[in-house]
């Protein structure tokens, strides 16, 4: 009898707790986006009034069916932790230490997923608490490593259980599994802005862009990718096909993380009502296997515009990491990285509020696709965001960017922006330039600095029309400005100007 009473008490307690809940992304230690109305949402089993209180503000929720939503008014940045309380009748949920500031999403594939504890950065791992820096780490429960998924992993995928996440305070032992790039970005942006900053991380190794697109976009533009034969689509690279089939060996009908829309639905959709300031994006290694610049440009533009549509922010800032160098001669897999870098540069030029961070100098000097230097990547992303999104003055954020080319005898004269102190970093001849008379056959060229410009000439090319820089899977670039930031790869004709 005693056990029966105890069982009934537990069941009743569960019913009481289930009367209303906040969505899982709302937790203690979170940061709410400043300057924007902030919805707080959840589920309920009773239609009685729900009230959300944050600081001195109290808002009544609207209830539709089993969903409720209260919208807090726009707020200024506030580094003082406050309590957010959600109340229905005598029941309440209390979230502590909630700040107001800037919220960014960090997403992409394995180089964004690469953890802080994989960098060997003991100083960062042991850093004391940073109260104004918070992050939400979505921990993948299923990875895309070699091998077949067991029943448990297949069950997680079928139940959309790819990610589990929590909010944390930066530092103080909370950060080992956080994205290293995301963590370094958030720490530096917090320092540069002087307001609370949060990074919401969701990424996955090996993922193509298609997996991060919402269903509405895929159905409209890439309909052949929505069915069970998605792996046969021309958008799937050979590596992705092979790995997905290997993982799903025991159940080919199960969803795979690489399946179009799957990562958007599991990693991004939960945040669509949560206002954000922007996105940092480190991805492309998988899609670059295909030498189809038009296709990849279309995919990247679709991804960015679709996120902007889903977040209801037409000019949501995207700050992208341009693919770095890699010393890998493997046929096919890395061969078209220069083409993909150009895709990224084109999209950054043509879409508003899309920015590119060059990392040509930070890649590996081996076949390792995971460059170890994540600190510089994260801090360059933060500098780009601070300077270009927040318009902070005096923050170096770009290496030399070619803007104009004109003939100069048998040479081409290249003009640059962000070229103060243009120089060879190692004092050796500048490397990485090529010239062409027709835009197809390129010849290695010499580059000479002339009054902050570059005079580029090549033996045998007497009437050059096109100059390109950084068109190599691997190189050791040495053209920098006074801030030691590397020149941005480019292809430019003497008849055109970069915008």
- Both tokens of 224, joined, read 């052949």
Nearest CA to 263 among 144, 153, 160? 160
Contacts of 299 (CB under 8 A, 6+ apart): 209, 210, 235, 287
**Amino acid 439: pLDDT:** 84
Contacts of 412 (CB under 8 A, 6+ apart): 405, 406, 435, 455, 456, 457, 464, 467, 494
Query: Could you read off the pLDDT of 12-50 as tens digits, one per residue?
Result: 333 444 589 999 999 999 999 999 999 999 999 988 999
- Residue 331 pLDDT level (bands cut at 50, 70, 90): low
pLDDT recorded at residue 499: 54
d(CA 491, CA 499): 13
How does pLDDT run across 154-197, given as a tens digit for each residue?
999 999 999 999 999 998 788 899 999 999 999 999 999 999 99
CA dist., res. 18 & res. 16, Å (int): 5
- Residue 348 in this model has a pLDDT that exceeds 80: yes
* pLDDT at residue number 1: 45
> Is the model's pLDDT at 295 over the cut of 80?
yes
Q: What is the mean pLDDT of the chain?
A: 93
The tens digit of pLDDT for each residue in 241-266 reads: 999 999 999 998 899 999 999 999 99
* pLDDT the model gives residue 328: 85
Mean pLDDT of 308-322: 98
pLDDT higher than 50, residue 53: yes
Three-class DSSP labels, 467-482: EEECCCCCCCCCEECC
Segment among 6-10, 130-134, 293-297, 409-413 with least mean pLDDT: 6-10
C-alpha closest to that of 466 among 499, 438, 431: 438
Contact 138, 310 (CB under 8 A): no
Spell out a b/e string for 235-261, using b for 16 or more CB atoms within 10 Å of the CB, else e. Answer: bbbeebeebbeebbeeeeebbbbbbbb
Q: Which residues contact 13 (CB under 8 A, 6 or more apart)?
A: none
Tell me which residue of 322, 320, 317 sits closest to 390, measured CA to CA. 317
224: left (phi over 0), alpha (psi -120 to 50) or beta: alpha
Q: Report the candidate in 128, 229, 231, 123 with the shortest Cα–Cα distance to residue 170.
A: 128
């290695």: which residue's tokens?
A: 444
How many other C-beta atoms are found inside a 10 Å radius of the C-beta of residue 229? 9
- As given in the structure block, the two tokens for residue 372 are 């170890």
pLDDT of residue 440: 87
Banded model confidence at residue 497, pLDDT cuts 50, 70, 90: low
Strands 278-282 and 197-203: unpaired
Q: Any residues with CB less than 8 A from the CB of 62 and at least 6 apart, and which?
A: 68, 69, 70
Any bridge partners for residue 199, and if so which? 104, 135
Q: Hey, what's the torsion of the CAs at 84, 88, 91, 97, to 10 degrees?
A: 0
Number of residues written out for the chain: 499
191-241: pLDDT as tens digits: 999 999 999 999 999 999 999 999 999 999 999 999 899 999 999 999 999
Percent of the residues in the chain that have a pLDDT greater than 90, as a whole number: 89
Residue 6 confidence (pLDDT) above 50: no
Could you give the C-alpha distances from 343 to 108, 226, 360, in angstroms and in order? 16, 25, 15
Which pLDDT value is given to residue 8? 39
Phi-psi region of 194 (alpha: psi -120 to 50; beta: other; left: phi over 0): left
Q: How far apart are CA 101 and CA 76, in angstroms?
A: 7
What's the confidence (pLDDT) of residue 16? 41
For residue 319 the two structure tokens come to 């700050």
Number of neighbours of residue 11 by Cβ within 10 angstroms: 10
pLDDT of 496 strictly over 70 = no
Residue given tokens 């000019």 in the structure block = 315
Measured CA distances, 359 to 31, 153, 390, 398, 482 (Å): 30, 35, 22, 11, 17
């Amino acid at each position: 009898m005693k056990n029966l009473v105890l069982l009934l008490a537990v069941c009743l307690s569960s019913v009481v707790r289930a009367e209303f809940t906040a969505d899982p992304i709302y937790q203690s230690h979170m940061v709410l986006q400043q300057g924007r109305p902030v919805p707080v949402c959840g589920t309920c089993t009773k239609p009685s009034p729900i009230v959300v209180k944050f600081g001195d503000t109290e808002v009544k929720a609207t209830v539709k069916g089993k969903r409720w939503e209260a919208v807090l008014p726009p707020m200024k940045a506030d580094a003082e932790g406050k309590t957010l309380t959600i109340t229905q009748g005598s029941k309440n949920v209390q979230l502590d230490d909630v700040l107001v500031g800037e919220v960014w999403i960090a997403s992409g594939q394995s180089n964004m997923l690469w953890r802080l504890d994989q960098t060997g950065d003991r100083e960062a791992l042991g850093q004391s608490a940073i109260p104004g820096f918070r992050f939400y780490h979505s921990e993948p429960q299923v990875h895309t490593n070699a091998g077949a998924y067991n029943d448990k992993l297949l069950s997680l995928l079928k139940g959309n259980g790819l990610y589990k996440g929590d909010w944390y305070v930066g530092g103080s032992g909370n950060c080992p599994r956080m994205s290293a790039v995301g963590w370094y970005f958030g720490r530096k942006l917090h320092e540069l802005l002087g307001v609370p900053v949060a990074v919401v991380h969701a990424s996955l190794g090996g993922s193509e862009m298609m997996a991060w697109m919402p269903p509405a976009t895929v159905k409209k533009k890439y309909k052949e990718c929505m069915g069970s034969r998605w792996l046969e689509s021309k958008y799937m690279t050979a590596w992705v096909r092979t790995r997905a089939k290997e993982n799903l060996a025991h159940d080919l009908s199960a969803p795979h993380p690489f399946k179009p829309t799957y990562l958007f639905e599991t990693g991004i959709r939960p945040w669509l009502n949560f206002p954000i300031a922007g996105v940092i994006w480190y991805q492309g290694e998988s899609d670059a296997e295909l030498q189809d610049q038009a296709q990849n440009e279309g995919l990247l533009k679709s991804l960015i515009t679709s996120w902007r549509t889903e977040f209801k922010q037409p000019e949501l800032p995207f700050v992208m990491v341009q693919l770095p160098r890699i010393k890998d001669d493997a046929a096919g897999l890395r061969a078209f990285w220069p083409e993909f870098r150009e895709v990224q540069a084109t999209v950054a030029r043509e879409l508003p509020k899309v920015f590119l961070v060059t990392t040509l100098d930070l890649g590996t000097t081996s076949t390792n696709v995971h460059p170890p230097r994540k600190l510089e990547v994260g801090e360059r992303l933060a500098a780009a965001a601070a300077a270009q999104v927040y318009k902070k003055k005096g923050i170096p954020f770009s290496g030399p960017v070619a803007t104009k080319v004109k003939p100069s005898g048998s040479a081409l004269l290249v003009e640059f922006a962000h070229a103060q102190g243009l120089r060879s970093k190692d004092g050796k001849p500048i490397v990485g330039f090529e010239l062409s008379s027709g835009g197809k056959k390129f010849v290695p060229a010499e580059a000479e600095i002339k009054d902050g410009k570059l005079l580029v000439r090549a033996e045998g090319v007497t009437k050059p029309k096109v100059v390109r820089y950084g068109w190599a899977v691997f190189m050791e670039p040495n053209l920098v400005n006074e801030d030691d930031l590397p020149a941005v790869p480019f292809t430019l004709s003497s008849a055109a100007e970069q915008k």
